[in-house]
Copies of this chain bind each other. A is one copy, B any other.
Amino acid sequence: MLIVQKFGGSSVANAERIRNVAGIIAESFLYGNDVVVVLSAQGDTTDDLLEKAAEINPDPSKRELDMLLATGEQQSIALMAMCLEGMGLPVVSLTGWQVGIRTDAHYGIARIRRVDTERLRRELDKKRIVLVAGFQGVNKFDDYTTLGRGGSDTTAVALAAALHADRCQIFTDVEGVYTADPRKVPGARKLEEITYDEMLELASMGAQVLMNRSVQLAKRYGVELEVLSSLVRAPGTKVKEVTRNMEEMKITGIAKDDKVARVTVRKVADRPGSAFRILNAVSKAGINVDMIIQAASQGEANDISFVVAQADAETARKAVADRQAAIGFESVAVDTAIAKVSVVGAGMMSSVGIASLVFEALNDEHINIQMINASEVKLSCVIDAASADRAVAAIHRKFFES
């Protein structure tokens, strides 16, 4: 069996953790598997390098930043290789360019174009454990690029797809994907499996287990993922296409995202295309808009509200404010004291009654719903931030604990 394993920065933060991970790798290898391992930079390495850079130039080019950051993962693979060598195992470490990860030229947020697996295959044929520096590749100029946040997950999935791996295991510091955040909801339980779409919704809803990009890639290439802990030996959660029968539970999990903000444009002139002009202004600033609500206020003017990531809120506000004359409105304001609580489940909306259960749970807690958004796989409610944890717990009780 060909297995791709990925370990994040905290899993290789120091010598002791490296030894722990080496044990997991060795076990997989000694059971007769071909093992490809993707590693992130150790612990705070990337932050330390960013700090060093900032001291020299607060606004360095992304090319040179990638040149600098790529060293972190290279150090991880070399150290892990030494650890496995010390255990007497055959191993070779490879950086992004050595392993043939070719990307586009967007430094800092590069996308993988292709993986030349020739070297990888050659090393696997020699029965070596192959350690690959995550998060990095090279563009057509042979310059180092990095893949952006969660890039090592993306590397792992891309390698698994290119090698047609039997398994792609993402080791993290949690034991899997839960029905809700287990630190907040004591009754939360680990899911055995979850579909790609459910995982995508949970990820974008704030469950920080897997980055969406790697899940999308896994879905596109049919790579079965497993999310599991590098510290606790226990089965994790499998992310794959699941065919559910009709009797199965419709809700997979509940997620909270409090890194959101609501932008409200007040008294928008009631003429055709106003909403479009507002959303176009935001979109042109490169910002994704999540929920939109148009509420009738007094007379001929409406309020239009939409939800964006908190980090983008000020940019979004400015983008709209800059076009005040063209759009026609009175004022635009940002509210960051909100949270988005979502219930996720494949085919959820085909089952009536789920929405009303959610509303009932929130009503029981006297939590006011400000905005609602529903799709085939999720139902999201915007509520005030202070009530978010209470809301998640209440919904979780309704669906999972009765």
Check: A384 CB closer than 8 A to any chain B CB. Answer: no
Q: Which of B52, B64, B77, B79 contacts A81 (CB 8 A)?
A: B64
Which residues, 64 to 86 on A, are CB-close (under 8 Å) to B? 64-65, 67-68, 70-71, 74-75, 77-79, 81-83, 85-86
Contacting pair B77 A67 (CB below 8 A): yes
CB distance from A23 to the nearest CB of B (A): 13
Contact across chains for B67 and A86 when beta carbons are under 8 A apart: no
CB distance from A227 to the nearest CB of B (A): 27
* Contact present for A78 and B85 (CB under 8 Å): no
Considering only residues 1-60 of chain A, those with a C-beta below 8 Å from chain B are: 15, 18-19, 49, 52-53, 55-57, 59-60
CB pair A74 B77 closer than 8 Å: no
Asked whether A67 and B52 contact (CB < 8 A) given A86-B57, A142-B98, A143-B98, the answer is no
Chain B residues in 8 Å Cβ range of A79: 52-53, 56, 68
Q: A172 contacts the other chain (Cβ, under 8 Å)?
A: no
Q: Is A61 engaged at the interface, CB distance under 8 Å to the other chain?
A: yes
| Alpha-carbon distance between A93 and B68 when the two chains are bound, in angstroms | 10
* B residues in contact with A71, CB < 8 Å: 71, 74-75, 78
A173 to B: closest C-beta gap in Å: 21
A78 touching B82, Cβ below 8 Å: no
**CB–CB A15/B56 < 8 A:** yes
Contact call B74/A53, Cβ cutoff below 8 A: no
A56, A65, A68, A85: residue with the most chain B Cβ atoms closer than 10 Å: A56
Q: Which residues of B contact A60 (CB under 8 A)?
A: 81-82, 85-86
* Contact A57–B83 (Cβ < 8 Å): yes
Would A57 and B85 count as touching, CB distance under 8 A? yes
Q: Report A75 CB to chain B, min CB distance, Å.
A: 5
Bound Cα distance A56, B22 (Å) = 11
Inter-subunit contact A55/B98 (CB<8 Å) = no
Q: Size of chain A's interface in residues, with CB distance under 8 A?
A: 38
Contacts of A144 in B (CB 8 A): 95
Interface centre among A75, A83, A142 (most CB of B within 10 A): A75
| A81: nearest chain-B partner, CB-CB | B64
Quick one: copies of this chain in the complex? 2
For A49, A82, A142, the residue with the greatest tally of chain B CB atoms inside 10 Å of its CB is A82
Q: Across the two chains, which residue of chain B brings its CB closest to A58?
A: B86
Query: Residues of B contacting A63 with CB < 8 Å?
Result: 92
Q: Is the CB of B78 within 8 A of A65?
A: yes
Contacts of A143 in B (CB 8 A): 98
Chain B residues near A85 (CB-CB < 8 A)? 57, 60-61, 64
What's the least CB distance linking A15 to chain B, in Å?
5
* Residues of B with C-beta under 8 A to A59: 86
19 additional A-B pairs beyond A56-B83, A71-B74, beta carbons within 8 Å, are A15-B52, A15-B55, A49-B75, A52-B75, A52-B79, A56-B86, A57-B82, A59-B86, A60-B85, A61-B82, A64-B85, A64-B93, A67-B74, A67-B81, A67-B93, A67-B95, A68-B78, A71-B75, A98-B143
Q: A-side interface residues toward B, CB under 8 Å? A: 15, 18-19, 49, 52-53, 55-57, 59-61, 63-65, 67-68, 70-71, 74-75, 77-79, 81-83, 85-86, 92-93, 95, 97-98, 119, 142-144
Can you list 30 A-B contacts (CB < 8 A)? A15-B55, A15-B56, A49-B75, A53-B79, A53-B82, A56-B82, A56-B83, A56-B86, A57-B83, A60-B82, A60-B86, A61-B81, A61-B82, A61-B85, A63-B92, A64-B81, A64-B82, A65-B82, A67-B74, A67-B77, A67-B93, A68-B74, A68-B79, A68-B82, A71-B74, A71-B75, A71-B78, A95-B144, A97-B97, A98-B142
* Closest 10 A/B residue pairs (Cβ): A68-B78, A71-B71, A60-B82, A57-B82, A57-B86, A67-B78, A64-B81, A15-B55, A64-B78, A56-B83
